[in-house]
Copies of this chain bind each other. A is one copy, B any other.
Amino acid sequence: MTTPSLDLEARAHSEHAQELRLWLRLLTCSQLIEKRVRACLREQFDTTLPRFDLMAQLERHPEGLKMKELSHRLMVTGGNVTGITDQLVTEGLVERMGVDGDRRAFRVRLTDRGRASFVDMAQQHEQWIVEAFEGLNARDLDSLHKLLGKVKQHQLELNRKLDE
């Protein structure tokens, strides 16, 4: 290259343009859907995505999850889980229960009210998501799920290597 300029056209002809285009498109898709979900959660339920995500985790673990487990599943650090949990406890949607044999830890779980509230939101949420993927038939949905499975698996391997 004779000039210091590396414009998109130049990159578009490079060896790895396919990966870059794919990443930009993946990011755009998830941002578009996420923006809509956040806005709907805000407007219809006056809540946020991290709060919804935390409750979704608890909903599939009726026995409760420890703060550490929540932190790992939500991919955020511990302090944030404490903050969101505190909010939800204040609103009576989740509760902290003691753990037998370890007085440092808690199990966090949905209260009855929290479960009812989540079921409400989850039903709406399902509709938003179905709407988001209306453009795809069942076979497309399956292909996309499988391909993203490969992507996800690879990210987890990369993270595992970094942790060593």
Contact = CB atoms under 8 A, between A and B. Distances in A.
A27 B25 contact: no
Interface string A1-37: 0001111100100101011111101111111111110
Interface residues of A, number: 66
Copy tally for this chain in the complex stands at 2
Given A11-B122, A115-B4, A148-B26, A18 B138 contact: yes
Which secondary structure characterizes the binding site on chain A? helix
Interface string A131-148: 111111010111111011
A141 B29 contact: no
A68 interface: no
A41 to B, nearest CB: 14
